[in-house]
Amino acid sequence: MSDFSLDLDEDQLQLQKWVHDFAENVIRPAGHEWDEREETPWPIIQEAANIGLYSFEFIANAFMDKSGLLMPIAAEELAWGDAGIALAILGSTLGLAGIAGNGTPEQLIEWGPQCFGTPEKIQTAAFAVSEPDAGSDVSSLRTRAVYDEAKDEWVLNGTKTWITNGGIADIHVVVASVDPELGSRGQASFIVPPNTPGLSQGQKFQKMGIRASHTAEVILDDCRVPGHCLLGGKDKLDERLARVREGKKGGSQAAMKTFEGSRPAVGAQALGVARAAYEYSLDYAKERKAFGRAIIENQAIAFKLADMKTRIDASRMLVWRASWMAATGKEFTSGEGSMSKLYAGETAVYVTEEAIQIMGGYGYIREFPVERWHRDSKIFTIFEGTSEIQRLIIARAISGVHIK
């Protein structure tokens, strides 16, 4: 007999209920307010910190889970509550992933806890990659990092944009070009510690959705960071650049290594939004009567819900598979991480739009949450790699051809 099972174990079920209860009782009731305010929901983050949900320990334990499922389970439940607030809670995780993916164990121990702080002093982190002229094309980054050997410092100059927690974060992880001639292979990641002169917030963006999550430009103007803030260390960087200049492989590019690990978790957030809209519209269809019967008794409505549920469950399987593969060291030979983010993101847009259609005019007004969920859903086809970029990654992986 095979011991294969898709059942969650007791620990996973307990975590799922714990996070769901927080999402149901704390996040969802506050979703509309913070969407309207378009501000970071510090009181909600504080409550998450008080129970240990917003903490380095929680994220570290989730990422060390041998099944790989704890993080996507938690992310789905948080986004089920509200995607903007969920991202405000999970946003620091991307900065942490940048440190874990590119730094040394010693750097992770030093800086990881500072990405979250403590319940007494909450801190946040940001991962700064995108630029005004370099979004999907990270090989075109213009932000420069120049080494000042006399002072053992790196000098950063440039502008980053679309950065979650940008400018308000205590810890910024910045991807910059060390050798522009090498393109993406000449880039490295740097820690910018709290209160470092030369780093400031630029424009804060007013967004269509996820409005409780802070998104802004980060300006780097002769921003000096100590030599030990180069993630991975200078010896490792010099060795990698030397290999690239000799025409050899240099290993994973700094930004892509972080995104590879985070995409299933992003897919899980999209999944949470889709599930919220599906459940809400299903309940509505059972209660709403037209022409003398509940509208779910009409095939036009019932078939929509059937398709919505099917795509949600398929998305979850892709997210869980990619998360399990990452946790168990299995290589993404067919772009499985990108598959999970692509399909879940597009499912969120599809499901929330169908939910609005099922509810008719009620779905279109701000009194009901499906309108907000639809606005929130669209970002999942854009950030951390657009749907087009995910398809490019998958196509390259399955064909072995460098498709452009």
384 is catalytic: yes
- Given the residues 77, 131, 384, 388, the one annotated as active site: 384
Q: How is residue 379 written in tokens?
A: 């970002």
Look at residue 157 and give its three-state secondary structure: strand
| The Cα angle at residue 214 between residues 366 and 80, in degrees rounded to 5 | 50
Contact 387, 346 (CB under 8 A): yes
The rounded distance, in Å, linking the Cα atoms of 343 and 340 is 6
The rounded distance, in Å, linking the Cα atoms of 286 and 358 is 11
Contact 30, 44 (CB under 8 A): yes
**Helix (H) / strand (E) containing 371:** helix 370-377
Q: Nearest to residue 320, comparing CAs of 347, 339, 306, 348?
A: 339
**Which residues of 60-150 form beta strands (DSSP E)?**
125-128, 144-148
Contact 48, 81 (CB under 8 A): no
Burial letters 304-336, b for 16+ CB under 10 A, else e = bbeebbebbeebbebbbbbbbbbbeeeebeebb
The rounded distance, in Å, linking the Cα atoms of 75 and 263 is 12
Contact 385, 393 (CB under 8 A): yes
Burial class of residue 235 in the structure, from the number of CB atoms within 10 Å of its CB (0-12 exposed, 13-18 middle, 19+ buried)? exposed
Burial class of residue 201 in the structure, from the number of CB atoms within 10 Å of its CB (0-12 exposed, 13-18 middle, 19+ buried)? middle
β-strands 125-128, 293-294 pairing = unpaired
Residue 119's CB is within 10 A of a number of other CB atoms, namely 15
Look at residue 278 and give its three-state secondary structure: helix
**Phi, psi for 48 (deg, rounded to 5):** -65, -40
- What residues form DSSP beta bridges with 126? 172
Residues annotated catalytic, as ranges: 384
